[in-house]
Amino acid sequence: MADSAVAAARPAPFREAHLMPVDLEVERRPDGTVLIASRIPLRPYEANIPAAFARRAELSAEKPALAQRGADGEWAFLTFGQLKRDMDAATQWLLSEAPPGPVLILAGNTPAFAVMSFAAQAAGRAACPVSVTYAALGGDYGRLAHVIDKVKPGVVFAEDTRMAKGALEALNLHGARIVTADPTGLSKPATAYADILATPVTEAVAASIAGLKPQARAALMLTSGSTGLPKVVPITFDNLMANSTQCQQTIGEAAGWHDVMLDWLPWHHAAGAFVLRTTLLEGGTLYIDDGKPAPGLFETSIRNLREIPVSYFNNVPLGYAMLVDALEQDAVLRATFFRKMRLMLYGGAGLPQTVMDRLQAAAVAETGHRIMMTSGYGMTETVSAFMVIHFETDRVGIGLPAPGTTIKLSPSGDRYELRARGPNVTAGYLDEPEKTAAAFDEEGFYRTGDLVVFHDPEDPTKGLAFSGRAAEEFKLSSGAWVYGGAVRDGLIKALSPLVTDLVLCDDGRPWLGVMLWPKPDADPVEIARRLAAFNAGQHGSAGRVKRALLLTEPPSANAHEISDKGTINRRAVIDRRAGEVERLYADTPDEGVIALG
């Protein structure tokens, strides 16, 4: 998108979005700490999720709840009534046939995942969704073995028998019952998923649902494990519904979860689980997008977006960067995408300002209006997003706290470390008392580890901006600190749209290097020119890139270089590509390395 189009879009009015007004309580302490909360109280909510879904299914029995393309490429629908019947049958089986313990779910985004997740909760068992990547890695399946040992499931649901076969037969499941599509494909005893759905339902199901308590465990969610093995986060029914209510109250009218959703975010992750839960409870229809922002899969997402207009769209920054390229080239996609659009949300990482500007330019060209863009800032330990932008702005940021959550900004140089406390914040980690204690401060605020700044220090209502993760900051051998988040964001902006992502290198090195994933048609000479221009604007050596290496192999999901949400794990990339890192820092760089002054 030309700079002139971006500039022309800035004065355009926003399409009406109906967001919660901003009304803040701000406390400034003598030590520089700032506490911020919304004066608008969190509205009452029903914590019993299975009971709430039962009422929704009764009201919307014939309405499509889930849609997914079948083998023929056409959409196949499951109504609320059908989904409830399957959930009740699975709940009955868990109550009468299964060994005690949580239900570990090893499946992609499918109706069966939804059935087993809600059934586990209805039966009073926590659902523990796990990425299918854990079973696809091969080797010793170390991460999956760690989760099984930690969670001690009574049931392991692995929908795709062929995909999970190696892991299921290699690992000690400690007596857990296997449920899968094709038990004949395994040497271990297993129960067919179809047989579970045929279980006659008794009054025990309704009794189990009625007996659920708000503080009971509803889910066991996994952290990303970017710095080691994943931690297990117990989440209560109250945590889940407090968070759903927070988001519904701030942006729900604009998002329209009661309408049509099209989403790819994995349901084993906090953000994807939120979309599934909230759409079903609000009575919307969720079209499952089997694509994602990755080579060979994004085309599936584009096909779906060309066909299904939505009023709300949710993606990670990498997905938006890929989408805006397509929007600028595809008139049909652009017309369908913006036809009903009222709200776009980004999460998982900071959105480059250039990507946001290009999205708005495309929106204005198509509709004459800018589209409200909000953030979804949160993490597994807070269930999902607890900070959102619910006010008109052109600036990328993480917004303000939703009702019910108080944030604490603890001074860290010229920035603040962000902490949070509220009904959505979980109590800690499963059987990890030391890590739980370290995660909370003396006032009970959860330490996010993220650094933020005010957009306007004199006006908190303009929100906060992400300023890096403490864990991503590192020292060069000179002792100079590299503020990884800020440097990375600056480089992404400077190199857009020539590169898809990058990794900064590295602790203890004499100077800053970077490994880049260029787009196929990117000119290395232009990349070098932009890097030099970026360096010219830096005030210290720790922010200047001395060398850059253009990577040809995409980030590997199997090696945990890229998450299911499309975010890069910097440490995993550096550790796996030690040879490339050595090329970057060689005494005499080879021809594949861009050397800067």
Which position has the token pair 């019952």?
177
CB 230 within 8 A of CB 144: no
Q: Give phi and psi for 387, each to the nearest 5.
A: -130, 135
| pLDDT of 559 over the 80 cut | no
* Alpha-carbon dihedral 271, 431, 106, 61, rounded to 10 degrees: -60
Among 165, 66, 65, 53, smallest CA distance to 106 is for 165
Helices (DSSP H) in 450-545: which residue ranges? 484-495, 524-536
Q: How many CB atoms lie within 10 A of CB 572?
A: 20
Q: What is the DSSP letter of 370?
A: B
Residue type, 29: R
Indicate if the pLDDT at residue 324 is higher than 70.
yes
Residue 269 to residue 291: CA distance in whole angstroms: 16
DSSP 415: E
- Cα distance from N-terminal residue to C-terminal residue, the chain: 31
Contacts of 559 (CB under 8 A, 6+ apart): 572, 576
Residue 8 confidence (pLDDT) above 80 = no
- Given a cut of 60, is residue 74 above it in pLDDT? yes
Q: What is the pLDDT of residue 556?
A: 84
Whole-number pLDDT of residue 569? 83
Q: Could you count the other beta carbons within 10 Å of the beta carbon of residue 223?
A: 17
With a cut of 80, say whether residue 137 has pLDDT above it: no
pLDDT averaged over the chain? 92
287 strand-pairing partners: 67, 262
Percent of the chain with pLDDT over 70: 97
What pLDDT is recorded for position 310? 97
pLDDT of 3: 65
Percent of the chain with pLDDT over 90: 76
User: If you average pLDDT over residues 326-339, what whole number do you get?
Assistant: 97
Dump pLDDT digits (tens) for 174-184.
999 999 999 99
Tokens coding 118: 């809600």
Nearest one of 545, 540, 542 to 529, comparing CA atoms: 545
Pairing between β-strand 499-505 and β-strand 512-518 as defined by DSSP bridges: antiparallel
Sequence-distant (≥ 6) Cβ neighbours of residue 261 within 8 angstroms: 275, 279, 284, 285, 286, 287, 310, 312
287 close to 264: Cβ distance less than 8 angstroms: no
Query: Cβ contacts of residue 30 below 8 Å, gap of 6+?
Result: none
The span from the CA of 238 to the CA of 245, in Å, is 10
Average pLDDT over residues 295-312: 95
**Using the 8-state DSSP alphabet, how is residue 380 labeled?**
G
DSSP state of 174: T
What local confidence, expressed as pLDDT, does residue 396 receive?
86
Summarize pLDDT for 401-455 with one digit per residue, the tens: 999 999 999 999 889 999 999 999 999 999 999 999 999 999 999 999 999 999 9
Q: Angle of helix 298-307 relative to helix 317-329, nearest 10 degrees?
A: 60
What's residue 25's pLDDT?
98
Region 271-290: mean pLDDT is 96
Helix (H, G, I), strand (E, B) or coil at 476: coil
Q: Indicate the SS3 state at residue 374.
A: strand
CA distance 37 to 164: 45
Q: What separation in angstroms does the CA of 108 have from each of 131, 132, 140, 263? A: 8, 7, 21, 13
The pLDDT tens digits of the residues spanning 336-371 come to: 999 999 999 988 566 788 889 999 999 999 999 999
Half-sphere exposure of 247 (CA within 13 A, CB side): 27
Q: How far apart are CA 551 and CA 112, in angstroms?
A: 38
- Residue written as tokens 């300023």? 467
Summarised one tens digit per residue, pLDDT across range 191-244 is 999 999 999 999 999 999 999 999 999 999 999 765 568 899 999 999 999 999
- pLDDT tens, position by position, 529-543: 999 999 998 888 888
571 band by pLDDT with thresholds 50, 70 and 90 = confident
φ, ψ for residue 202, nearest 5 deg: -115, 180
**365-415 pLDDT, tens digit each:** 999 999 999 988 999 999 999 999 999 888 889 999 999 999 999 999 889
Q: In what order do the strands lie in the sheet with 377-378?
A: 377-378, 385-388, 400-401
What are the structural domains of the chain?
A: 3-40+292-469 (3.40.50.12780), 49-238 (3.40.50.12780), 473-595 (3.30.300.30)
Average pLDDT over residues 581-596: 91
Q: Which residues on neighbouring strands pair with residue 481, listed in sequence order?
A: 475
Where residue 69 falls among pLDDT bands split at 50, 70, 90?
very high
Question: Is 48 exposed, middle or buried (CB count within 10 Å of its CB: 0-12, 13-18, 19+)?
Answer: buried
- Residue 475: phi and psi, rounded to 5, are -105, 140
Res 415: pLDDT: 92
The arithmetic mean of pLDDT across residues 51-64, rounded, is 97
